[in-house]
């Protein structure tokens, strides 16, 4: 298992992206799936940084655990920001509306959930745990 801990700021997104892509490459994941996994993790990380920490006035870190089990690549994101279940934000219905009529927000979560085979959220011991799984 590999881990990464970064401060909860937008500047950390680069390092998070590199961590996910490096792990995907090392596990032999195909290019498209690496892209999608990175997208999924990047979007949720952005939400944690902006909504879980910044808007709430909380300083915190993001910790990632990446592991390969059989055919599955699993990335877990732990944060101590406000409780936030991305599943409640996902609303693909508005995607068929003209641009002018679409609500802001929810787009990143939609992209994230669509881009992985499995997405799970839980709140445990004061932490948010986001789990992303892609199959090789």
Q: Which residues bind another protein (CB under 8 A)?
A: 10-11, 13-14, 17-18, 32, 35, 38-39, 42-43, 46, 49-50, 95-100, 102, 104, 107-108, 110-111, 114
Residue found under tokens 């999608």: 36
67 vs 90, beta carbon nearer another protein: 90
Cβ proximity to another protein, 101 vs 125, nearer residue? 101
Max CA pair span of the chain? 45
Query: How many angstroms separate the first and last alpha carbons of the chain?
Result: 17
CB of 2 to another protein, least distance (A): 18
- The encoded tokens of residue 125 equal 């011991």
Rounded-to-integer distance, Cα 47 and Cα 32, Å: 23
Q: Would you say 105 or 122 has its CB closer to another protein? A: 105
* Alpha helices (H) along 27-130: 31-47, 107-115
Q: How far is the CB of 37 from another protein (least distance, A)?
A: 12
């Amino acid at each position: 298992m590999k881990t990464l801990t970064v401060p909860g700021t937008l500047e950390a997104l680069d390092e998070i992206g590199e961590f996910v892509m490096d792990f995907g490459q090392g596990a032999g994941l195909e290019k498209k799936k690496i892209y999608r996994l990175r997208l999924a993790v990047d979007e949720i990380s952005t939400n944690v940084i902006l909504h879980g920490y910044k808007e709430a006035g909380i300083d915190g870190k993001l910790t990632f655990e990446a592991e390969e089990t059989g055919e599955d690549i699993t990335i877990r994101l732990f944060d101590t920001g406000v409780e936030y279940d991305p599943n409640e934000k996902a609303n693909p219905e508005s995607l068929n509306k003209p641009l002018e009529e679409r609500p802001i927000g929810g787009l990143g979560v939609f992209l994230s959930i669509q881009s992985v085979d499995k997405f799970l959220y839980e709140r445990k011991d004061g932490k948010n745990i986001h789990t992303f799984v892609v199959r090789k």
